[in-house]
Amino acid sequence: MSATAITKSPRTAAPRARVTEGRTTVRHARRRMIDPTTCERDYGPEEIEFMQALDHYKRTSGRMFPTCSEVLQVLRSLGYERVSAG
């Protein structure tokens, strides 16, 4: 293993402290989960409907990371369809 190899910490690992320029920072083993529905942004009704439909699909299918085809399926279930240009 080279000196530049990166190893993944187990989820149970304690946070590691690091001192940089006199400051101490703490790195956590896991990234914080960010839910886009809780961000401070005003979503339109169509965006909210899509997020809720996608969340419903994830929960009912048990697939937290749907494929592009599955996202397209959710969009079609909401009534979206391709409109030909011209």
Neighbouring C-alpha atoms within 13 Å toward the C-beta of 79:
2
Q: Which residue has the higher pLDDT, 41 or 68?
A: 68
Please indicate, yes or no, if residue 8 is contained in any of the structural domains.
no
The backbone region for 24, taken as left when phi is positive above 0, alpha when psi lies in -120 to 50, beta otherwise, is beta
Domain count across the chain: 1
Please indicate, yes or no, if residue 28 is contained in any of the structural domains.
no
Please indicate, yes or no, if residue 17 is contained in any of the structural domains.
no
Task: List pLDDT tens digits, range 43-71.
Answer: 889 999 999 999 999 999 999 999 999 99
**pLDDT band at residue 85, thresholds of 50, 70 and 90?**
confident
**pLDDT band at residue 2, thresholds of 50, 70 and 90?**
very low
Please indicate, yes or no, if residue 24 is contained in any of the structural domains.
no
Please indicate, yes or no, if residue 26 is contained in any of the structural domains.
no
Helix 45-61 with 68-77: angle, nearest 10 deg: 120
Domain extent at residue 75? 35-80
